[in-house]
Structure formats: C-alpha cells, structure tokens
Amino acid sequence: PDKVTRHSYQTMYGRFLLPYYHEHPTMKMLEIGLGCNMNYGPGASVSLYKTLFPQAELWEAEFVEKCVRQYRGSEMLQGINLLTGDQGDYGTLDKWISQSGGNFDVVIDDGGHQNCQIWNSFMKLWPAVKPGGLYFIEDMEVARHDKKRQPQAPCDSDVIVPEKLKEMFDVLIYEEYGQERRESDIEFIFCQADACALGKKLDADPASVWWNKAN
C-alpha cells in the first residue's frame, strides 16, 4: 500500500501502532478507507493488518457501498468487520459507533481527505477511543488545496485540519493554557511528513470536550 511507498507512514506506525499491538494483541481497530478508489484496488492495507495484527478485531469503513458489496465475501475481507457511508456525516458516524460498539483502541483515518470529512470524523470518533488509545490521520499534505475545503455541516470551508491540530499542540506546549491542558484528554501529538498521530491520556475523562469548546 502507499502507506510505505509514496508515504513513509511506517515512521509513526512503527513508533506507536506496533508497540501498542504488542501490549494489546486483541486491540479493536477502525480504519476509514478500504481503498476502493486506489489504482491498485481495495484492501491493500487490510492484507497488511491481517498479517501484522492476527489477533486484533479489525473494522473497515468505506464510502463506496457497491465496492464493499462486491468484495464482502472475498478471502481478502474474511474476518474483517465492514461499515459503509460518508465519514463526514454525523448520522453515519453515530451509526458506525452504534454498529461497532465503539470503544476503539485505534482509529486510522485514510478516507476521503476532505478537511471537513476528517474533522467531523475526529469530532465523533475521538471520544469513542479508549483511554490510552491512538488516532492516526493520513494524507494531510493536501489540506490547503481548495478542492479539499468543501464544507460539510457542522464544519465549514475555513477548517484546515493541520491548523486545528496546531491549536491543540499549543495547549500541550504553552503554560498559559493551564486550564485547557488540565482538561485535555490528549497525551501527545506526533506529526511527520503528511500525517499525525494523537494519543489519548490513560486517565482521560470520557466526557471531556475541551477541544470542542471553540469549534
């Protein structure tokens, strides 16, 4: 998959995801984006995950329902739990959480790459990540492109996800954000070329919405 060819995502996944799996081999992981629109075809990352994480509970969410129907019975998707719909739609995201039971160890957003798709997904799915869990966002190198700034309620076209992450980073770094830092459920933000990883505090309050107050 392009995670380790065109991109170098093995940096963040090697640093965070592999060690997490070794500590939590039955982890529950959701990836957004089966790869139905990729020129090498769907399921490349699924094959990798099945090899690397044989004991994990794997969920895949995909926008193109026709593609999911086509490959649902294939060997490639054997043992994979499937969800369909628009990752930018709050109703769809609520349905995904309900159908899967939420409580994810890991979420990987490799979906549509629209800022509002990414942000709306984060707003709904980050609270569904377990304390101590991980959230990865890929392909943010295109975030400033006009075609990636389509509004999708409640997110508007002014939202650029890396800029939102910078606001969160400021809270973690600067002492003047003392109250926000105490309320924050983010343990760390790690960014590399094109992507970032967020880790949730082990003692995170499930009801924390500090990062949502001004958004």
Residues annotated catalytic, as ranges: 113
Rounded-to-integer distance, Cα 153 and Cα 90, Å? 9
Specify whether the CB–CB gap between 87 and 161 falls below 8 A. Answer: no
d(CA 203, CA 215): 24
The answer, yes or no, to whether the previous bond of 154 is cis (omega within 30 of 0) is yes
Which pairs with CB-CB distance under 8 Å and at least 24 residues apart come from 44-50? 44/1, 44/2, 45/1, 45/3, 45/110, 46/76, 46/77, 46/80, 47/76, 48/1, 48/3, 50/79, 50/80
Residue 74, strand partner residues = none
156-to-88, 90, 190 alpha-carbon distances in Å: 12, 14, 25
Task: Judge contact between 45 and 35, C-beta under 8 A.
Answer: yes
